[in-house]
Chains A and B, each alone.
Chain A
């Protein structure tokens, strides 16, 4: 998988291949590195690389990923996870997550976790300022997780539904 983040106007890519608690990672144009003893818990991530063990805290905020290394805090904006074929920067179709295009309130949820969906099927309906907005499946697939609940007020860019990785 390729992950793309921006921070302070710069874009970074992380190419990651996991294998149990090991991984191979390349950051931007750097050399590939081996990660060992990878542990991901709610909120904390640990791994060893180059003889050094790292422990960081990670928390999501809509599209942001807040990462703390001790008291140094970095606010990354997740642009996209991409497919291993390297088409980073694409949205929606391969990304598997659907976002609200505007702030609004969830007035209908047409699916639940695990449902199979077809391209064009309405998944979520948002309402704002007397307008309705239907969030539709960009492809055939399966709902991995519904991330909102009925009546919830969402912000622009907030993730609504995750589709299982195709």
Chain B
């Protein structure tokens, strides 16, 4: 087992990993940028090393600095957390080359799953379903350039075969709001058009392609997107007219009438499967997570079990996920993402070769500590359980608490947290990177905390999440808690009707409501004010007053004597010294 692990990350996930190390009796090293000097995570480790300025590229993404911190502290393994370098095969390789253990999959597995087209080709050969589509169809002109704006990854479709999947449309293309939903779905699939071949006279006839693909299908323009040249076709009868109309529109919009087909997924759900594989060849899945509540491609609510899955579907998806992991020789924790159609067909989307943000709901459901499992696997231990031992119990939901201002287009809200109190009680877990007196800076993603609830049933979990959200006090930065409360209370969410279009469908025109201010709020403010006058010195000192006896002192600082005065506010603060990465 490792003697010392360096956690190459920050915030709540660094704290999560540090906790697991502590429980396993392993010494810990945290790294932090200069902007995180007074953050919560450095103080949660036995040692902490400053690895550079606020900008991620010079600190949390700086392989050389992280490696030298690991070597200098005598660490024998590195855990990358999520984001940052966690899916960077060069980093994983560099860690190994330095004689340390990388707590994650082998670089080759990362590379295999990093290319979406290569991943899909691999999945097809492994028997894992992918979103089917056609190649270019006869009757159109040769395709122009890629118009969808997706990264142009080249991949030739097999001649005569069915080309790899592309984007997925789920909604009436004529609807104005389709663009937002279109975008959400497309990005969820990490669109890349797998290089459509020139149609030529030998191209497949539309009727044949449609029959092979099945209905409903969607016609798409090869040369561009944005809803132009798109038609949903429910049956063979509608096909000729839809095709003509789509081609006409495509020609007008892009100067190219080339179209192709894709299977039309109705209101898909984003459902992912957690996998774990040890170094001895044992691979298991730890059931699913439903992640369809997304705002602009960012997940905000996840739950397990998924209201959509039947036991049979769960078993088939689990097997597919295990097959996917085996196909790339996967080791350690990973997640296979799928889209699940309304008719419960499932299709491979991509594989994330790291621990995910929402892993706590799987831990709540299965009782398995995923980070401890990661460490043990990396240390060479076999999995202590087989597939038959893994069972889900109850229901778990996670809400991501972001420092975002819902009244200002959810732009990040920065500042000092003046008051902070987490909800408590049975079945409540909060993984947080912040507390009272901590600052939310602009350099990193605005995740404050993850609020996870577990209960015996989904209805119980919903009620528990509502209570927990209502009791969560965060004062000083604006958060999305009000938005989350409305999402969780929405009838469609309660009914489990949560395709990836949920937020655009129900909250497209949403803005926060401004309730009437209750008397007790005014009374509390007045009482606090009166205490300030009566005591002669303010019980409510301005939050930037370094002389205030009420100012919370950070007790863990490196290189600064405890009790040193805070820097003068604004102007000369961090914001000017470290220009924002833009």
Contacts and interface: CB of A to CB of B under 8 A. Distances in A.
A139 interface: no
B538 interface: yes
Interface in A7-61: 7-8, 10, 12, 14, 16, 18, 23, 25, 27, 30, 35, 38, 40-45, 47, 49, 54, 56-61
Contacts of A12: 517, 522
Interface size range on A against B: 35 or more
B469 A3 contact: no
A25 B530 CA distance: 12
A10 B522 CA distance: 12
B475 A3 contact: no
B543 interface: yes
B520 A66 contact: no
B542 interface: yes
Nearest to B531: A40
Interface residues of B, number: 53
Contact of A25 (B521, B523, B540, B543): B523
Interface string B457-493: 0000000000001111111101001100100000000
Contacts of A69: 518, 520-521
Nearest to A7: B517
Interface string B517-560: 11111111111111101101111111111110010000000000
Contacts of B524: 45, 47, 54, 56, 58, 67
Given A3-B525, A149-B547, A71 B538 contact: no
Q: With a 10 A CB-CB cut-off, give which of B514, B525, B536 has the most chain A CB atoms.
A: B525
B542 A60 contact: yes
A41 B470 CA distance: 22
Contact of B528 (A58, A152, A155): A58
Given A14-B522, A16-B530, A60 B517 contact: no
A144 interface: yes
Given A49-B520, A57-B473, 13 more contacts: A14-B522, A18-B527, A25-B526, A41-B539, A56-B520, A65-B529, A67-B475, A68-B475, A71-B471, A71-B473, A144-B537, A149-B568, A153-B572
Interface of B: 418-419, 421, 436, 469-476, 478, 481-482, 485, 514-515, 517-531, 533-534, 536-547, 550, 568-572
Interface of A: 1, 3, 5, 7-8, 10, 12, 14, 16, 18, 23, 25, 27, 30, 35, 38, 40-45, 47, 49, 54, 56-62, 65-74, 76, 78, 81, 96, 105, 113, 144-145, 147-149, 151-153, 155, 158-159, 162, 164-165
